[in-house]
């Protein structure tokens, strides 16, 4: 069956069966470039991944760039395919994302975005988390038009909402040497500002009908090729000052998730322990089949290729892409994303608390 006919056939099944009879769980994705499926293709942003070699291993596009900030699939892609979705959530800003194409869920994530509205402003346009939530409100109105209010409520109760954000708030606002936030906020104050704003937006999603959430903690930013290069590391040892900020934020985020679970009726909030899962890969990289734990596959500048991120014709690893943990200065390879996604899907409470994602999707 030709690809176009396959898409039309899939949509026909969705429409014919009706939402109530479908076994697929709708999947709504919020966040930054770790989850962006192409929204930044449609805005005047300096944060782009719509050119080769991005997407070179993305089999669903035939190796063409889609706007994903990696060589292949993102973690949300892998999660969606692993739980049996026949169609991945499409970027909200894609002109075709309307009608039946919103029923599998929608991806609102945007590269360079963060929890704070100011985050990523140096990249010009981006969809900050608040705007992503406002876009979801529009999607909800479309669902009501298609399904009625009662039908939309039922639809959203079974849906899963993932939020992957916070990395840029630290990388751009607090870890750059010239960041004005460091003079304005102490580390604890900055952390509380982020948690407070995130809590407000999660409550807004809950008020709109979301009930099942997976919130990703921030990974070990001090181990990225960018941070290693910025801090002129010569031995590849992670930057402890950067990682300590992340660890403290993640601890506070987990507290927020525990509070939301206890205070909001019929809600299920899951904390995804990105930091420990990725740190395990970095510390035991050879066990997982990696050969290089701290150098970007695609990039330039210094021994970690972390000064200039991936650009056309900048050069990248070829046959050994799966041997790299990092694709570019900031983002993991598909190989890393696959391992992380599996930990979130089927792991213990150490990786996904209090339940794993497969359990969350089955509730």
Query: Average per-residue pLDDT in the chain?
Result: 93
CA separation for the pair 60, 145 (Å, rounded):
31
Say whether 331 is catalytic: yes
pLDDT attached to residue 3: 40
Model pTM? Answer: 0.94
Mean pLDDT of 347-363: 98
pLDDT at 348 over 80: yes
Mean pLDDT of 217-234: 96
Higher-pLDDT residue of 22 and 264 is 264
pLDDT in tens, 152-195: 999 999 999 999 999 999 999 999 988 889 989 999 999 999 99
The active-site residue out of 77, 280, 328, 352 is 328
CA separation for the pair 337, 11 (Å, rounded):
28
pLDDT attached to residue 177: 86
pLDDT attached to residue 203: 98
Instruction: Assess contact for 171 and 228: CB atoms under 8 A.
Output: no
pLDDT band at 22 (very low <50, low <70, confident <90, very high): low
Say whether 145 is catalytic: no
The active-site residue out of 33, 47, 110, 322 is 33
The active-site residue out of 110, 233, 331, 352 is 331
pLDDT in tens, 59-96: 999 999 999 999 999 999 999 999 999 999 999 999 99
Percent of the chain with pLDDT over 70: 94
Q: Domains of the chain (ranges plus CATH)?
A: 24-362 (3.40.50.1110)
The SS3 of residue 21 is coil
Say whether 33 is catalytic: yes
CA separation for the pair 109, 79 (Å, rounded):
15
Q: Is 250 exposed, middle or buried (0-12, 13-18, 19+ CB in 10 A)?
A: buried
pLDDT in tens, 238-282: 999 999 999 999 999 999 999 999 999 899 999 999 999 999 999
pLDDT attached to residue 314: 87
Q: How many CA atoms lie within 13 A of 5 on its CB side?
A: 2
pLDDT in tens, 194-203: 999 999 999 9
């Amino acid at each position: 069956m030709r690809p176009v006919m396959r898409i039309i056939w899939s949509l026909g099944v969705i429409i014919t069966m009706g939402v109530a009879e479908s076994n697929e769980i709708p999947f709504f994705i919020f966040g930054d470039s770790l989850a962006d499926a192409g929204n930044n293709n449609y805005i005047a942003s300096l944060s782009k991944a719509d050119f080769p070699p991005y997407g070179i291993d993305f089999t669903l596009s035939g190796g063409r760039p889609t706007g994903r900030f990696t060589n292949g699939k993102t973690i949300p892609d892998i999660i969606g395919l692993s739980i049996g979705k026949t169609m991945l959530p499409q970027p909200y800003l894609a002109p075709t994302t309307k009608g039946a194409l919103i029923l599998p869920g929608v991806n609102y994530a945007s590269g360079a975005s963060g929890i704070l509205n100011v985050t990523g402003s140096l990249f010009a346009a981006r969809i900050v988390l608040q705007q992503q939530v406002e876009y979801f409100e529009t999607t909800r109105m479309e669902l009501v038009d298609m399904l009625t209010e009662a039908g939309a409520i039922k639809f959203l109760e079974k849906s899963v909402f993932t939020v992957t954000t916070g990395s840029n708030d630290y990388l751009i606002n607090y870890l750059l040497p010239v960041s004005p936030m460091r003079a304005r906020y102490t580390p604890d104050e900055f952390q509380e500002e982020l948690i407070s704003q995130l809590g407000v937006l999660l409550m807004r999603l809950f008020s709109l009908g979301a009930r099942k959430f997976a919130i990703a903690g921030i990974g070990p930013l001090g181990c990225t090729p960018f941070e290693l290069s910025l801090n002129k590391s010569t031995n590849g040892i992670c930057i402890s000052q950067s990682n300590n900020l992340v660890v403290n934020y993640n601890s506070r985020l987990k507290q927020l998730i525990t509070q939301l679970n206890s205070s909001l009726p019929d809600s299920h909030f899951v904390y995804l322990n990105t930091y420990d899962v990725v740190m395990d890969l970095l510390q035991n990289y050879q066990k997982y089949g990696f050969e290089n734990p701290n150098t970007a596959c695609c990039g330039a500048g210094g021994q970690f290729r972390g000064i200039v991120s991936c650009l056309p014709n900048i050069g990248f690893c070829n046959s050994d892409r799966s041997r790299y943990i990092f694709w570019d200065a900031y983002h993991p390879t598909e190989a890393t994303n696959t391992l992380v996604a599996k930990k979130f899907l089927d792991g213990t409470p150490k990786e996904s608390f209090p339940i794993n994602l497969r359990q969350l999707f089955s509730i």
